[in-house]
Chains A and B, each alone.
Chain A
Amino acid sequence: MVAPPPDLAIISALQTKLVAALRPILPEDGLLWEPEDTIPYECDGLAAYRRMPLAVALPETEAQVAQILKICHAMNIPVVPRGSGTGLSGGAMPISQGLVLSLAKLKKIVSIDPFTRTAVVQPGVRNLAISEAVAHLGLYYAPDPSSQIACSIGGNVNENSGGVHCLKYGLTLHNVLRVRAVLMNGEIVEFGGLAPDAPGLDLMSVMIGSEGMLAVVTEVTVKLVPKPKLARVIMASFDDIEKGGNAVAAIIAAGIIPAGLEMMDKATTRAVEEFVHAGYDLDAEAILLCESDGTPEEVAEEIERMTEVLKKAGASGIQISRDEAERLKFWSGRKNAFPAAGRLAADYYCMDGTIPRRHIATLLKRIQGMEKKYGLGCLNVFHAGDGNMHPLILFNGADQDEWHRAEDFGSEILEACVELGGTITGEHGVGIEKINTMCIQFGEGERESFWGVKNAFDPDKLLNPDKAIPTLNRCAEYGRMRVSKGILPHPELERF
């Protein structure tokens, strides 16, 4: 996507003013403004959307964060907070007349308390680093987004990240006790606390998942959970995608909440087998991975029950991991689906819709039809347990027409998710990528309420202002493309 050309003279003057204001409060290497230094920040994990910021600030303390925000507030300069930049929806894409506020240098694990099973960490700490730091205590941090090796806890808070294990252990919201943050005007606040609840309205519930639009996270207190003694995984093959989809619903209906419940379609299995050689059944239309964790007794009991359910659901083949090495081998394909997709096409576009589990097969069949309609291939690999689909649309980014078809393909998938009773994003956030599809899921009243929430925290609309929540005009523009039965959406608005 190409942004309209900005007025370079205005931008240059603003940049000079901002750099002069920020230099005294930051260390020498804590402020970047030359294009060769700021270019790595022009996009996050969604490289299709890029924009150069005025400057990038890399504070090392909460006090510096507060000062930066105060200065930008006074200068009316928008600020885009950024963690590790692994986000997949363009939530950290810069604003051309704004500052990128990187929290990467706030990366201390402040304290670990095994007795209360909590850790206090700065926002730049990597998700996996928390579990690594507490592993010797027999504890870990449960939410495990696929990018956990690189993504930061501050980013996880902003995106309410989940992962393979969130079916059983919950999302970030369920595993964070307290968030310390700085408001756009420089005030420091705390959401939640170490007690089981906090006075007043539960503002932490809107802070988590707010995509950096309400406050800048400076410290997070996370819950740690005991590491299960054992984990085993069942790999089940299905000769029909519908049977596989129904097996997911059957496991849950049997009263089992697996530690992980993931699915890959045939195209994905073939792509990853070439890549990881895990011994997948290449004839299967769908492969389901069902993990159980807990004490050895619990795992044995759950594996037996899940095996029975899978057999009844029509699994054509079942393998159960015999040891940890085999468990990791079974998972290797699922974990490497994205790089495997990268071997099949120059580019791929990862979608993130969620649907009720019972509609998994319906959506997969619809996607097959869309592949033909748009002339593009699609791999389906997803968190089946919570209905969170990740279709990977294959395309060649050098071909503008292919990219536009991929975008339309993606939008149609998300629209189908909403139609089936789901949502346009399960764990990646809205960012800039899905801002148009927000107009499909939410009506005018809801969007107005979202702006009310935004204004309550950031009345001047300076924190990541162009993300996640579309304006009424934007939705009217998006809706204009879909006039149904001659009825124009939002007829009260001027068209331009």
Chain B
Amino acid sequence: MSPADSQQHIESFRKQILEAAQSKTPLSIEGGGTKAWYGNPNSFSKLSTKAYSGILDYQPEELVITACAGTLLKEIERVLSEKNQMLAFEPPHFGEGATLGGVIAAGLAGPARISVGNLRDFVLGARIMDGKGQDLSFGGKVMKNVAGYDVSRLMPGSLGTLALILEASVKVLPKPAASTSIRCQMTQAAALQSLNESAGQPLPLSASCWIGKNQADSFGELTIRLAGAEAAVYAAKISLCSSLNAKELDTKEAEAFWSNLREQQLPDFTSLAADETLYRLALPAACGSLELNNMSDDIILEWHGQERWLKGLSDDATFNALKKIASAHGGHAMRFRQGSNVNPANQRFTQLSEQSHSLALEPIQTRLRASFDPSGVFATHRLP
């Protein structure tokens, strides 16, 4: 994209934002629209970033890529792959049109999050437009940058409720030299115990997934991915296959499994009934198997058990019960995806006011939003 074209896009965003500020009408930011179902719904006018697309800078030896918000995620991944690099947090696409801006705004990470860190950890800098139409740059393109508050890392997971992401610089990593996956049968309790014990060892654990019925003693299928130096992966495979009585998966089968898990294309995800909700629990590592009522028996555990997916009734009583259970263990719950017949106006997230230690953060969040967006241009409530 030429500087003139870029400037034209920026000016058009500014115009739209200033008009919205003037008329006090919020704008809902949209990239490829692949995650429109995620977060609280709204029916405000769209501000589309789709046309603001293009990789602006990519230096493989710097491990940083900078691109416009509307750049297709698959395009970024293709360019990185040519240099044997990747977005290590493995963002889910949830559709062909997924864009970089959308990925950052959603803040979601894939199976490798447990080993490499969250999406936020990889954001080095961002160019944003605030609710006053100001074109602002925070962070940078280098690994270490402690000048000023880390505003660019406020963007991940903000769902477009703070500012418009124009461009972002993201840290990338070399693809691991070797990767393999192993699978075994074990109970949920044994899987959680074993995964946490292994994580305390210098083993190249990259991802884990346990799928089964939600009873502590019910056997399910545990799949573990190992990635890193060839010698380390080989040694860990031999050791874990022996201790867990596991078998190595065929490469293609393994790749398909992790991709389907990331994109929620495994049967347990795709069979969501019209009147059901897919709940996500985020929990501390110490959290064992949980007793959950009013839920389907099927459960998927990712991130060594720190992320759990389950389906259940869509009513508030069920959600409140899940929030209470998660909170008692130091975590939180969300309505991740709702069936087509479920009330779309449902609150999807645990709110700050529902957690005693977060109560004082609510006014801070409100003031922060007001400072970036005094006229409420981005007050779409997609995130409470």
Contacts and interface: CB of A to CB of B under 8 A. Distances in A.
B216 interface: no
A198 B121 contact: no
Nearest to B156: A202
A206 B156 CA distance: 12
Contact of A438 (B147, B154, B286, B351): B147
Given A199-B358, A301-B231, A446-B136, A354 B368 contact: no
Contact of B284 (A160, A195, A428, A447): A195
B145 A423 contact: yes
A194 B358 contact: no
A193 interface: yes
A43 B326 CA distance: 45
A209 B150 contact: yes
B95 interface: no
A410 B341 CA distance: 64
Q: Which of A138, A421, A427 has the most CB of B within 10 A?
A: A421
A300 B230 CA distance: 11
B47 interface: no
A426 B235 contact: no
Contact of A194 (B177, B230, B286): B286
Contacts, number: 278
A202 B121 contact: no
Nearest to B357: A190
A214 B148 CA distance: 12
A454 B151 CA distance: 11
Interface residues of A, number: 99
B142 interface: yes
A114 interface: yes
Interface string A151-194: 00000000110100011001101100000100100011111011
Interface stretch (A24-32, A225-233, A336-344): A225-233
A6 interface: no
A446 B142 CA distance: 18
A357 B120 CA distance: 22
A302 interface: yes
Of A174, A249, A453, chain B has the most CB atoms within 10 Å of the CB of A453
A116 B196 contact: yes
Contact of A200 (B64, B138, B383): B383
Contact of B144 (A116, A252, A354): A354
B321 interface: no
Interface in A110-146: 113-118, 137-139
Interface string A398-415: 000000000000000000
Interface stretch (A267-275, A290-298, A478-486): A290-298
Q: Contact residue range for chain B?
A: 35 or more
Contact of A357 (B61, B157, B175): B61
Most A CB contacts (10 A, CB to CB) among B59, B64, B197 go to B59
Contact of B145 (A195, A426, A443): A426
A356 interface: yes
Contact of B332 (A171, A198, A457): A198
Contacts of B358: 189-190, 198-200
A174 B121 contact: yes
B147 A425 contact: yes
A177 to B, nearest CB: 9
Interface string A416-437: 0000011111111110001000
B62 A199 contact: no
A208 to B, nearest CB: 7
Nearest to A162: B144
A452 B121 contact: no
A459 interface: yes
A468 B148 contact: yes
Given A226-B202, A298-B228, A446-B137, A196 B307 contact: yes
B232 A294 contact: yes
Contact of A196 (B149, B235, B306): B306
Contacts of A457: 364
Contacts of B114: 196
A426 B140 CA distance: 11
Given A206-B149, A209-B150, 10 more contacts: A116-B284, A171-B144, A173-B150, A180-B357, A200-B383, A295-B232, A297-B235, A357-B62, A429-B146, A453-B368
Closest 6 CB pairs of A and B: A452-B371, A297-B231, A255-B174, A194-B284, A205-B153, A426-B144
